[in-house]
């Protein structure tokens, strides 16, 4: 099963996290694609894949500019996404924006859940004010996430 990482970013931290996953997790999932959210809409969820939303946060708890079209289409062109399984990686800065910390990914999560999609596992968050390197902790989280959830999905797809 393909892992499709959809990236919402402005200054490329989220993209670097996704690229690190693409490089370091192929032993767990040989087919990983990193795709920037620019120009995407809800139809991306028609693709057969396990989805990973990897989004930063801007404005006052908004998704980044390159994610606005996809995020809006989940509200403007709603359709049932009961077949979709996804995870969320959300980047923010708790020190500078405590009220809206990591809302970018949380906003996607809320809309996807409204449309019937199934989140696997807890959200991963990264705090730019903290000490953790986003690529390192993001890869560690994703390895555990894939190891926990992918085998059952692959078994179901094969049966
Ligand atoms: C103008 C601006 C607004 C931001 N607003 C928020 C916010 O509301 N909440 C939050 O948690 N982080 C906020 N951030 C922090 C970014 O989400 C964080 O630095 C993130 O790692 C950037 O990811 P990127 O490099 O992929 O764009 C903001 C950063 C900037 C520069």
Q: What is the pLDDT of residue 64?
A: 98
Q: Tell me: the pLDDT tens digits for 35-91?
A: 999 999 999 999 999 999 999 999 999 999 999 999 999 999 999 999 999 999 999
CB of 127 within 6 A of ligand 1: the answer is: no
Average pLDDT, the chain: 97
Which amino acid residue places its CA nearest to atom 16 of ligand 1?
92
Compute the distance from residue 14 Cα to the ligand 1 centre, in Å: 10
Domains detected in the chain: 3-158 (3.40.50.360)
pTM comes to: 0.98
141 contact partners, CB below 8 Å, separation of at least 6: 89, 124
DSSP code of 8?
E
Nearest by Cα to 32 from 44, 12, 50 = 50
């Amino acid at each position: 099963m393909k892992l499709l990482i959809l990236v919402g970013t402005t200054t490329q931290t989220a993209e670097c996290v996704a690229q690190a996953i693409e490089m370091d997790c192929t032993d767990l999932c040989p087919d990983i694609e990193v795709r920037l959210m620019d120009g995407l809409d809800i139809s991306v969820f028609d693709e057969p894949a396990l989805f990973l939303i990897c989004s930063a946060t801007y404005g006052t708890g908004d998704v980044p500019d390159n994610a606005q079209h996809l995020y809006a289409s989940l509200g403007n062109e709603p359709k049932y996404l009961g077949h979709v399984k996804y995870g969320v990686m959300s980047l923010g800065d708790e020190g500078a924006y405590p009220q809206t910390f990591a809302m970018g990914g949380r906003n996607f999560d809320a809309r996807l859940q409204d449309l019937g999609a199934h989140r696997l596992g807890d959200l991963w968050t990264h705090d730019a004010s903290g000490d953790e390197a986003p690529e390192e902790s993001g890869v560690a989280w994703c390895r555990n996430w894939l190891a926990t959830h992918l085998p059952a999905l692959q078994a179901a797809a094969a049966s």
